[in-house]
Amino acid sequence: MQRLIFIIAAIVVWQVAGHIFLKPAPPQARVFPPVSGAEFEDHEKYTRDARESQRQDALKALDRAWSDRCGDKRKDFISGLGHYYYHRQNQNERYPEIYGPAGATYIAGVWTTAEDRRIERLTQEAYAAGYIKPSDFDSMASQVVATVVRGEQIRGRGCGG
């Protein structure tokens, strides 16, 4: 009987000491499934056309006459540009969450076409002329717009005259 009590006490002491003195295992890093590229293609067949439409809407907004960026037509101007930047930022956040580093690399490449660079350049020009500011857009789109116009100086008064 004493031997049994001694064994139980030793086990309890061992468990308590292990809990106190041993370091816990580090948290497991998120494991992403292997990415072959087909995952993007399966998803992309649904978003490729939408992405192209978003680019065209942004270019249409940015190709408006300067006078069409103010007054009653301003809402359409901001909406067309904001829609593009919203989806761009959303995809740049979601693909890495879903696919890991491979998703981040993939989606970064998708949003660096010649049209995307043109949209960025025209956005910088509109900002410099005073027609837009990042706060004109919703929070997600404003993040990208702020990044795109960083370093640009406002030289015009836009709709202010």
Q: Is 31 buried (19+), middle (13-18) or exposed (0-12) by CB count in 10 A? A: exposed
Q: Are 90 and 23 in contact (CB under 8 A)?
A: no
Predicted confidence (pLDDT) per residue in 132-141, tens digit: 999 999 989 9
Give the model's confidence band at 159: pLDDT under 50 very low, under 70 low, under 90 confident, else very high. Answer: confident
Predicted pLDDT at 30: 65
Span between the terminal Cα atoms of the chain, in Å? 97
Predicted confidence (pLDDT) per residue in 15-26, tens digit: 877 677 776 766
Predicted pLDDT at 161: 60
CA distance 19 to 7: 18
Predicted confidence (pLDDT) per residue in 39-91, tens digit: 677 777 778 889 999 999 999 999 989 888 988 889 999 999 999 999 999 99
**Helices of type H across 22-160:** 38-62, 74-99, 101-110, 114-128, 139-149
